[in-house]
Amino acid sequence: MRKYILKLFLLLNVLLVTSVFFGAEYVARIGEMELGRIKTQLTKNGWVSVSEIQYGETYLVETRTLYGANGMFQIYEATFKTGGEIVAKILATQKMMKTTITLYAYYDPKNPSVKTFSFSEPNLVILDNNFIIPHFEMMLKMPHPKFQILIPQALFNPSKTEKASGIAELKRLEKDIYVLSYEGTDIKIITDKDGIVKMEYSNGITVERVKK
């Protein structure tokens, strides 16, 4: 009986580790001013990221990204809230080399505005705004000099639709240091054995992992 209980305890531990594998917290700053905090977690249902960011008012960005065995995203969901109310949602799927993005803007809570975009470029790498750390983590697991990236949040702004997808370049400066460049913005990414330690944007924003 004691052996059975011990085996059951070990099994529960394995299941727990499988369902919640990794968690980290990051702080975003511009200069000395804190912009917000980002919490990430790898679960059995994909990478979860929760960003609470100050843009004049506090925005809560909750995302889930599910990746396939090839390292490419299959499902991306994002919910944006302010004042406790949902203001926007994103649903992105990638199937059979086709990516579909559906945007929901809740100008009227009962009747959201809906727009759908399709992309036919194969192997789009998702790198969304508001410091979705898991997207950068997964990108670094399959580094290439150039990526065809997708920034779903940029599709909300008609003036930035053309820049929502394009070619980004990734350079490795040292063993654990990379620079990602896209549309005039450079992001220096510093890593260690546990993943991303710090991201330094050329516009002065830094995102740094909180020490446990």
What's the confidence (pLDDT) of residue 142? 83
| 33-42, Cβ contacts within 8 angstroms, sequence gap of 24 or more | 35/205, 38/131, 38/133, 38/207, 40/133, 40/134, 40/137, 42/134
Convert the pLDDT of each residue in 97-140 to its tens digit: 899 999 999 999 889 999 999 999 888 899 999 899 999 999 99
pLDDT interval class at 96 (50, 70, 90): confident
Convert the pLDDT of each residue in 182-199 to its tens digit: 999 999 999 999 999 999
Please identify which residue in the block is written with the tokens 């009986």: 1
Find out whether 122 and 145 touch, Cβ atoms under 8 Å: no
**Quick one: which of 3, 80, 29, 64 has its CA closest to 204?**
29
pTM, rounded to two decimals: 0.85
**Quick one: which of 157, 133, 120, 127 has its CA closest to 37?**
133
**Quick one: which of 64, 198, 71 has its CA closest to 123?**
71
DSSP 73-93: EEEEEEEEEETTEEEEEEEEE
**Is 90 exceeded by the pLDDT of residue 1?**
no
Three-class secondary structure of residue 18 per DSSP: helix
Tell me the domain boundaries of the chain. 17-209
